Structure 1
Amino acid sequence: EPYDIVRGFPKISRTLMLYPSLLKHFSSCKSVVVEEKMNGYNVRVAEVRKHPVALTRGGLACPYTTEKVAGMLPMEFFEDYPLLVLCGEIVGPDNPYVPKDIYGIESLDFFVFDIREKLTGKPLPVMRRRTLMEEYGIKSVRMFGEYPITEAGGSITRIIKELGAAGREGVVIKDPEMAVPPIKYTSSQSNCADLRHAFRFYNDYGRDFFFSRVVREGYMSVEWDESEDDRLRRCQQLGESLLLPLIETIKKKKRGEKITEDSRIRVRSLETVSKFAEHLRHMGIDAIFDAPQPAGDEYLVRIRKINQSTNDKTDAVLSGQMW
């Protein structure tokens, strides 16, 4: 049977020192476009055998996301452009991977941040992509503007501070023609939110996940030339992000409770629930699915993912095992 090839989405490099990175990375560009980096999970949507299929970053076809995007995206786009892939962010509270309730979205939504050729992976220029999405009524991530390269640093710093104050993640900085790869820059609040989440499951996350986010805080503090008071506030925010969730996890385990990562999905078909449960098993994720609850013409299903390593380690230490 014929098969389709969909190129993977390239990893976006992260800048820790914004001003020198802009000048060095975009040395061939007169200006850069700044778009919001939304906090959800990356999905590539491509036409496969006349149907849209949602691929997560690992290259796996997610049955839940595929059902959701089928109701969000017009099939006309894929009929007209079968060799283009929509790259976007799935955000909202009914998100089984990264549930966030900061965008005022009731369930889930899809925001395009890139369009690439299916076979080559070549991206469309920024404004061509945004215009195309507007023509088909498909949502794009927020664009803050296009800035001369010599002035972009100040504008991006202001944007990052505003996004951070709103609890949002950060920005992606792009060559308007997409000839130079994009780079990303995230807020301190986003770093700390990641750490708060991860330290609830401290033995299931790799140490590099923790370390890299702490290092980001140091570079940002230096680049922003913070006062002593600002540095102390940053230290307090960082310390609380590490210790408070860890302490709560230990207390929870001491009470005999399981450490679980809770999320939910909203589906039209109960068959999708079964397929998604199998999808998680295939990914090696141990999860408990609660009974589906009717929600209008859909079903709401709560999921508890068991973080076994953190459960086992915390149990062992509480019972006297050495570290």
Structure 2
Amino acid sequence: MPAVDAAYALSRLPEAQRQGRAQRKTFKGLDYWHYTDDFQHIPRGTAVFGETVVFGYPHIGRVFALEAGIRAHFRAPFWAEEKINGYNVRITQIQGQLVALTRGGFVCPFTTDRLADLMPLEIFQKEPRQVVCAEVAGPDNPYLESSPPFISKDVKLFVFDLMTQGQPGFLPARAKQAQIKRFDLPAVPLYGYFQPDQIEDLRALILKLHEEWREGLVLKEDSPRDHRAKYVTGHSNIDDIRASSDNLLELPPEYFINRLLRLALFVEEHALPATSELKQALGGAFLDGLRAAMQCYRATHHVSTRFRCRFRHKENAELLLDHLRHASRHVQILLRDLRREDGYWQLEFERVYPALTGMLGDLLAGKMVYD
């Protein structure tokens, strides 16, 4: 494997451009390229601003069985951090301008706009090449229909890693924790340091998170190889289904099958009773979303989900809509409202799902189907 660094990423960029694996973008005068796929050891989402490279966030494997997964993959003690139900961003300073990059390597107008509300910014003055990796979560976000149960409005940011411009990989855990403390950064909950044989302690922790309808854990090995794995609670799978059932036809069947399998494995491994409440929650996750889709169609003649979020600057709200319209291949983005309120620009828009809209239109009009 070649030494992957900024020079290597820059040297491979022309070939990635020729193959259509890197796309050019502009954000408020910043021209940049982002890798749209993994390419010759360079991770998807890597962004290149002139000579400055911000490497993409690497893939983290998922284990479906907690005990077997730990025994198979961890050789050293590891840290257990909470996995937050949100979207991933990398925040850094480019040519004196702060930007937040999505997992895919786009500059996110929403997160970039709200950075001063979400975290202290001193770290970028003292450490100008720092890259802050964080999850943004909450009901008033422009990307996801679900959010953690402990955030009732707007969004919050949770730091989980630190990187450096031009370098793949992360600061070691203790150095990261020191930086988080030094700059008073909002961080994901850290639940402790575990040995691979502390299965029962981890089981108690994951069951507590399950009961609180939280998403799960990310386990990070304290070793030079920095091996990682994620493991989610049973209830998080029901939340995923509930948030997506009104978008049933736009997602592959594997999306729902995987979550059903994860739930069944979680219940079986942790010897949980298959209670009527659990079965009702699972059935309701499917049925409630579809019923809401039908009610939406009868009222508006399309199936959609409404999003709302607030901005400091109107221009960034307009840039977000433009970004979503260009990025959304299978859905339509409709502006519903953009108004000044309580010192912010309040944006409301809809994602319209054409496949389910078309199917419900046919079925509710009485179309005959042969099966």
1:291 to 329, 334, 337: 337
2:221 to 155, 168, 175: 175
Any gaps of 5 or more consecutive residues in structure 1?
none
Q: Is the 2:233–2:266 Cα contact (8 Å) retained in structure 1?
A: no
Q: Whose RCO is larger (CA < 8 A, sep 6+)?
A: 1
How far does the alpha carbon of each residue in 1:200-250 deviate from its partner, in whole angstroms, 9 at most, with x for none?
A: 1111112121111011112112212344xx366544432332233223323
Q: Size of the alignment, in residue pairs?
A: 318
Q: Is the 2:337–2:349 Cα contact (8 Å) retained in structure 1?
A: no
CA RMSD of aligned residues (A): 2.1
SS in 1 for 2:163: strand
The runs of 4+ residues in structure 1 deviating greater than 6 Å are: none
Q: Which amino acid aligns with 1:240?
A: G
Hey, what does 2:313 align to over in structure 1?
Answer: 269
Cα offset, 1:164, TM superposition? 2.2
1:166 to 209, 212, 229: 212
SS in 2 for 1:102: coil
Q: Is the 1:126–1:177 Cα contact (8 Å) retained in structure 2?
A: no
Q: Is the 1:123–1:178 Cα contact (8 Å) retained in structure 2?
A: no
SS in 2 for 1:13: coil
Matched, 1:150 2:194: no
1:260 to 281, 304, 309: 304
Q: Is the 1:203–1:313 Cα contact (8 Å) retained in structure 2?
A: no
Matched, 1:36 2:79: no
In structure 2, the CA distance between the partners of 1:178 and 1:287, relative to structure 1 (3 Å rule), is farther
TM-score of the superposed pair, with normalisation by structure 2: 0.79
Any gaps of 5 or more consecutive residues in structure 2?
1-30, 32-49
Hey, what does 2:24 align to over in structure 1?
Answer: none
Cα offset, 1:70, TM superposition? 4.1
CA distance in 2, matches of 1:96, 1:26: 36
Equivalences for residues 37-56 of structure 1 within 5 A: 37-56=83-102
Hey, what does 2:285 align to over in structure 1?
Answer: 241
Equivalences for residues 1-323 of structure 1 within 5 A: 2-27=50-75, 29=76, 31-99=77-145, 100=147, 102-104=149-151, 106-151=153-198, 153-177=199-223, 179-227=225-273, 230=274, 233-255=277-299, 257-284=301-328, 285-319=331-365, 320=367, 322=369
Q: Is the 1:74–1:136 Cα contact (8 Å) retained in structure 2?
A: yes
CA distance in 1, matches of 2:269, 2:292: 33
CA distance in 2, matches of 1:168, 1:124: 26
SS in 2 for 1:120: coil
TM-score of the superposed pair, with normalisation by structure 1: 0.90
Q: Is the 2:63–2:69 Cα contact (8 Å) retained in structure 1?
A: yes
Q: Which amino acid aligns with 1:84?
A: Q
CA distance in 2, matches of 1:260, 1:22: 41
In structure 2, the CA distance between the partners of 1:278 and 1:256, relative to structure 1 (3 Å rule), is closer
CA distance in 1, matches of 2:279, 2:121: 49
CA distance in 2, matches of 1:252, 1:317: 14
How far does the alpha carbon of each residue in 1:230-281 deviate from its partner, in whole angstroms, 9 at most, with x for none?
A: 3665444323322332233234434554321121111111111111111111
In structure 2, the CA distance between the partners of 1:109 and 1:177, relative to structure 1 (3 Å rule), is farther
Q: Which amino acid aligns with 1:237?
A: A
